[in-house]
Amino acid sequence: MLALLLLVAPLYFHPNIGGTGFRIPHNIILWSVASIIAFYSLYKLTFSQFLYLPRFYLYILSFPVLVWCSGVLAGVEIATHWFFRLLYIWGGLLFLFGLFQHRLKQIQLDRLLFILLFSGLLHALVGLTQIILVKNMPSWLPVNPSGVPTGLFQQINNQASFQVTIIIVGLWLVTRPFIRHGHYWRFISVVTIISLSAFIVSYSGSRVGALGFLLALPLLLSSRWQFVKTDKKRWPLIFVALLLAISSANLVENKRGLTSVLEKATAINSGYSSTARLGMYDISLNLIKQKPLFGHGIGSFVRVWQYGKPAFYQQHPDAVLPSQRVSHPHNETIFWLVEGGLVAGLGLLLVVTGIILSLSKLPPSRRYAYAALLMPIALHTQVELPFYISAQHWFVFLFLLAVTLWPSKKAFKLKLSMAATKSIRIISIIAAISSIGFLSHSYAASTEFKNYLLKKSPIDKPFPIAQQNPYFKSLVLDLMMTSLFHSSKKYEIDSNMKIFAEWTEQEIIYNPHILYFRLGMESYLSLKQHIQACSFARKGNAIYPKEESLKQLVKQCDKKGIALY
């Protein structure tokens, strides 16, 4: 099942609306497989006399507990967001601890890592196809009209951090008996895969990919140097292959590659006027100062960050910020500090402390190498949101974390009563069936969105399943209300237009999306309620000053007076 999770499940694709979580179809498939593994592990536990856990498991367990506490004390902004966020974390924790119950040997872990390399190969081949075919991709593969090798991921940095992880895993395996004393085809496979991965990373021009590689490679080499220096046939070949892959990618596409990485790094030094990231961090840090202990509440980031923009623009009128709504500060630590405060931040700190303590107990030949395995994806979480976009990143990271913590696992004597044993088994079975049922329903909802995009949906009821799905029903409501606006405007149905206008007034309180400000303004203009239209435009313009329609109406309101316009 782990091989299925690492290699097969991530390959599923169908046209989708994009975004995060289950809006991306293969995330549903990945969670389905992971759920089976997690609940089977819990079921299997009842047949064992011991519970196996990493030595510092309490440090890891502290994070979801403290996040729950901060949510209870600070309040929950949107109940469904809070619920799914906690399920995501607790589900990942059950998966992680569940792996330890299978008592895998080191050779079996190495085989699974070898299988993971082929997942990287498939993603890289899709990326290479996107470079060559560009818009002529077959319908069963994702198209990137710019020729960017995103693979089956939604965006290039996800591909880059994953491929850097593949490179480091491959180099680690070369120092292991599985490759050193195995069939030579294994070594050839590793060199081929990591070379193609290096080509994709270099071609992409991903800054986080380049930085992850530059940080992880020295850690790995310093830790495994005794194996590198004694293997004088294989390692020179590896270094030459990597060098050729990196340099050839830059020769093929010099507008991206290393040139792009340097340009992005230079932009950061130019301050708020050249990069949006600095402004995003500045607003987020101010929000942390406002409610430092428990944060603004789980699910509150979208609201508090957008409404924090006007004050930032007053101090930095020429600053560059994303033109669309921001749902994440592109830094996981800052995100949790905003929503969960120092309580959630303490949970993150304890997780990191537990990992560092586990690494410190290892001999140098493994300590830094294991840190290198975690580095690319861990670094990515500090500059973007890979776990929300890609479930593969989440489960690969958890698997690599399990590999890292494996030497520190401890056996705890398990004494379960007959009632407890039966209860755990029943709960495991019911939870597994419920999870698969919900995920199957979510998959069916996802196919409705696919049909909607391909214009194959029935006009009267395009989302009969999705509107009943707890995850997708809010998205369906957004689409239906937007459709109501356009039909009301087309056929001049004022009663429906009024319903939409009143809905946007409530929606922007928790979800200040640029689209709702624009359409809300237009709906009031259509109803000839100019005072409300001007009020809507001013609110939106303060948050999205680059939005032309809002800007133009504010100018007209100021010029002619609110009462007239």
380 found inside a domain: yes
The pTM of the full predicted model, rounded to 2 decimals, is: 0.93
One-letter-per-residue 3-state SS of 104-135? CCHHHHHHHHHHHHHHHHHHHHHHHHHHHHHH
Residue 490 CA from chain centroid, whole number: 38
108 in the same domain as 13: yes
374 found inside a domain: yes
Which of 375, 391, 413 marks a domain boundary? 413
491 in the same domain as 373: no
Residue 90 belongs to what H/E stretch? helix 79-99
512 in the same domain as 388: no
What phi and psi values does residue 49 have, to the nearest 5 degrees? -90, -5
**Alpha carbons 357 and 179: distance in angstroms, whole number:** 29
**Alpha carbons 507 and 114: distance in angstroms, whole number:** 48
379 in the same domain as 253: yes
From the list 526, 523, 522, 527, the residue with the least C-alpha distance to 553 is 522
386 in the same domain as 247: yes
478 in the same domain as 408: no
Domain with residue 515: its CATH number is 1.25.40.10
Tell me the per-residue pLDDT of 455-465, one tens digit each, with 9 for 90 and over. Answer: 888 888 899 99
257 in the same domain as 132: yes
- Number of structural domains the chain divides into: 2
**Alpha carbons 2 and 172: distance in angstroms, whole number:** 20
All residues at 6 or more sequence positions from 565 whose CB lies less than 8 Å from its CB, including other chains: 530, 533, 534, 553, 556, 557
22 in the same domain as 163: yes
All residues at 6 or more sequence positions from 445 whose CB lies less than 8 Å from its CB, including other chains: 463, 465, 466, 469, 471, 472
Distances from the Cα of 27 to the Cα of 32, 139, 153, 535, angstroms: 9, 19, 10, 40
The tokens of 129 are what?
């196809």
245 in the same domain as 118: yes
436 found inside a domain: no
**Sign of dihedral through CA atoms 281, 286, 289, 293?**
negative
228 found inside a domain: yes
**Alpha carbons 521 and 533: distance in angstroms, whole number:** 5
All residues at 6 or more sequence positions from 87 whose CB lies less than 8 Å from its CB, including other chains: none
Contact (CB, 8 A) for 6 and 115: yes
52 found inside a domain: yes
pLDDT on residue 360:
95
69 found inside a domain: yes
Residue ranges of the chain whose pLDDT lies below 50 = 273, 563-565
493 found inside a domain: yes
pLDDT on residue 562:
62
502 in the same domain as 387: no
Residue in this structure with the two tokens 């509107």, named with its chain if needed: 467
492 in the same domain as 383: no
223 found inside a domain: yes
Q: What residue numbers bound the domain in which 517 lies?
A: 472-560
Q: Where are the alpha helices (DSSP H) in 298-331?
A: 301-306, 309-315
**Alpha carbons 63 and 75: distance in angstroms, whole number:** 17
**Alpha carbons 158 and 14: distance in angstroms, whole number:** 18
Q: How many residues does the chain have?
A: 565
All residues at 6 or more sequence positions from 530 whose CB lies less than 8 Å from its CB, including other chains: 524, 557, 562, 563, 564, 565
483 in the same domain as 394: no
pLDDT on residue 251:
84
